């Protein structure tokens, strides 16, 4: 059984007329600190200076931390101008100004992940993590990250959305998503841990957070199959107050969001390890020499009908149980009962905003034989592929009495007891035949 690691981040970088969103910060702190949640505040140099007393007090009493939010890489994200060296110097300058205001701040995490050279910049400057990735998202807040993994992964230096083979800067999600609904609906921003989005979508409200509880329970169940599962949550400080320059919601909306956060953290608290972003990244780096493979079996959660003004052009489901996997070579999704993947995102391809690494033709799997002996099984599968590509099989059923034995060509395999047998291969062009032997435990 692995562990579920919970982190809470808050954008607190707004600064106008000598002020930052201190009221919103205090409201978030007052809601989360009583539950023992350390908050990671994403600050600018100006907001860090104005909120220095509060940030220092919360750091000393509750373990809060800060991360670097460069002005050019705010929300919506804009790319820095200038040469690589000039941009590195500016990012280092922002970190230095924050550390001048907060001498205790290590500033191991940065935000603003859309710059094409941001991985190299962070590595050059010694940042350990980069926050803000949005799984399956297209265009919202000018962010299109479809194709990247969920949770944490080491970023490839040449492509921030692709996992690296070895150690690198760690990518962190903006806020955790419902993997099943996000994938099948194509609208991941509705089905997330963002309090305003689920409220605007009318799928959570005030103390009715049944959907959020079901989402968290899916994450918790998947600690059966993974050493670490990360549940990241976020809320903007400036969206938790009304002020000149950043009025976003009404006081009623703000009260609702805080009640929802309070109820949600109370629900997950007994089953999670609470960390700052920096500590979570350190835990990931201590555990993994390369991007960890992820195995997520997700069950659909009933929701009220979504508000069509917010969820326009979105299929409401329900959808079948779905198994999702990624490793350094690919990301795959399988619907219950179907052996071949419904989607393959091939990290050997170049990313574009049409296919998002996806293979446009997925060959079908064929069963050649499935022979059961007294205390072993032998399964032979065939795939006729038009090209080389990563591939996987999800054999649904209870294989919990076995362990994977001889399996030539197997990249990796995993048995999810009482659920499925997952087999990961790489296909060559033409006929591919694979034999896997299962031995009784």
- For residue 398, the Cα-to-chain-centroid distance in whole angstroms is 29
Q: Is the pLDDT of residue 406 over 90?
A: yes
Residue 134's pLDDT is: 95
| Span 117-136, pLDDT tens digits | 899 999 999 999 999 999 99
Q: Is the pLDDT of residue 436 over 90?
A: yes
Residue 369's pLDDT is: 96
Residue range 240-255: mean pLDDT, rounded: 87
Q: Which of 372, 368, 364, 371 lies closest to 339, judged by CA?
A: 364
Residue range 70-90: mean pLDDT, rounded: 72
Residue with token string 């329970």: 217
pTM to 2 decimal places: 0.96
Residue 82's pLDDT is: 83
Alpha carbons 402 and 415: distance in angstroms, whole number: 8
Q: Is the pLDDT of residue 78 over 60?
A: no
Q: Is the pLDDT of residue 321 over 70?
A: yes
Alpha carbons 133 and 124: distance in angstroms, whole number: 20
Q: In this prediction, what percent of the chain has a pLDDT beyond 70?
A: 98
Q: Which residue has the higher pLDDT, 321 or 140?
A: 321
| Average of per-residue pLDDT values in the chain | 95
Residue 72's pLDDT is: 57
Report residue 70's pLDDT band, with 50, 70 and 90 as the boundaries: confident
Q: Where are the alpha helices (DSSP H) in 163-306?
A: 179-185, 195-200, 210-221, 251-268, 277-287
Report yes or no: 404 and 438 within 8 Å, Cβ to Cβ. yes
Q: Where are the beta strands (DSSP E) in 44-158?
A: 65-68, 109-111, 129-133, 152-156
Two tokens, residue 173: 């999600």
Q: Is the pLDDT of residue 3 over 80?
A: yes
Give Cα separations from 249 to 88, 132, 190, 238 (angstroms). Answer: 36, 22, 17, 10
Q: Is the pLDDT of residue 61 over 80?
A: yes
Two tokens, residue 108: 């191991």
Residue range 419-436: mean pLDDT, rounded: 98
| Span 412-425, pLDDT tens digits | 999 999 999 999 99
Number of H helices, E strands in the chain: 10, 21
Report yes or no: 319 and 300 within 8 Å, Cβ to Cβ. yes
Q: In this prediction, what percent of the chain has a pLDDT beyond 90?
A: 87
| Span 364-385, pLDDT tens digits | 999 999 999 989 999 999 999 9
Residue range 195-208: mean pLDDT, rounded: 95
| Span 148-173, pLDDT tens digits | 999 999 999 999 999 998 999 999 99
Residue 80's pLDDT is: 65
Residues 6+ apart with CB under 8 A from 301: 178, 181, 211, 214, 215, 218
Q: Where are the beta strands (DSSP E) in 127-201?
A: 129-133, 152-156, 159-163, 170-173
């Amino acid at each position: 059984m692995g562990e579920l690691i919970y982190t809470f981040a808050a954008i607190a970088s707004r600064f106008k007329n000598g002020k930052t969103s201190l009221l919103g910060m205090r409201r978030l702190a007052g809601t989360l600190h009583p539950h023992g949640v350390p908050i990671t505040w994403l600050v600018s140099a100006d907001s860090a200076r104005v909120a220095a007393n509060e940030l220092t007090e919360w750091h000393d009493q509750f373990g809060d931390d800060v991360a670097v939010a460069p002005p050019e890489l705010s929300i919506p994200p804009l790319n820095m101008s200038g040469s690589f060296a000039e941009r590195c110097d500016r990012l280092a300058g922002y970190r230095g100004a924050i550390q001048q205001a907060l001498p205790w701040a290590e500033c191991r995490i940065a935000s603003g992940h859309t710059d094409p050279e941001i991985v190299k910049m962070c590595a050059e400057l010694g940042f350990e993590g980069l926050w803000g990735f949005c799984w399956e998202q297209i265009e919202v807040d000018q962010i299109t990250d479809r194709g990247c993994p969920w949770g944490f992964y080491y970023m490839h230096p040449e492509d921030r959305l692709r996992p690296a083979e070895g150690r690198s800067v760690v990518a962190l999600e903006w806020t955790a998503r419902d993997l099943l609904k996000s994938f099948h609906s194509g609208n991941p921003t509705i089905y997330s841990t963002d309090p305003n989005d689920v409220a605007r979508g009318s799928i959570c409200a005030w103390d009715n957070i049944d959907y959020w509880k079901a989402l968290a329970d899916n994450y918790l169940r998947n600690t059966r199959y993974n050493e670490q599962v990360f549940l990241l949550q976020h809320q903007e400080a400036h969206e938790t107050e009304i002020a000149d320059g950043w009025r976003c919601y009404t006081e009623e909306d703000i009260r609702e969001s805080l009640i929802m956060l309070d109820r949600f953290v109370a629900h997950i608290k007994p089953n999670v390890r609470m960390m700052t972003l920096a500590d979570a990244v350190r835990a990931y780096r201590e555990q993994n020499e390369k991007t960890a493979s992820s195995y997520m079996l997700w069950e659909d959660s009933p929701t009220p009908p979504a508000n069509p003004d917010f969820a326009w052009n979105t299929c409401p489901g329900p959808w079948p149980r779905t198994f999702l996997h990624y490793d350094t070579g690919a990301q795959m999704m399988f619907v219950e009962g179907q052996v071949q993947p419904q989607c393959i995102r091939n990290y050997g391809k170049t990313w574009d905003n049409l296919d998002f690494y996806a293979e446009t033709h997925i060959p079908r799997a064929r069963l050649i034989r499935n022979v059961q002996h007294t205390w072993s099984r032998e399964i032979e599968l065939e795939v006729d592929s038009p090209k080389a590509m990563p591939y996987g099989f999800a054999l649904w059923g209870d294989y919990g009495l076995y362990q994977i034995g001889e399996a030539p060509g197997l990249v990796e395999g995993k048995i999810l007891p009482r659920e499925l047998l997952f087999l990961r291969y790489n296909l060559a062009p033409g006929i591919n035949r694979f034999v896997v032997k299962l031995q009784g435990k």
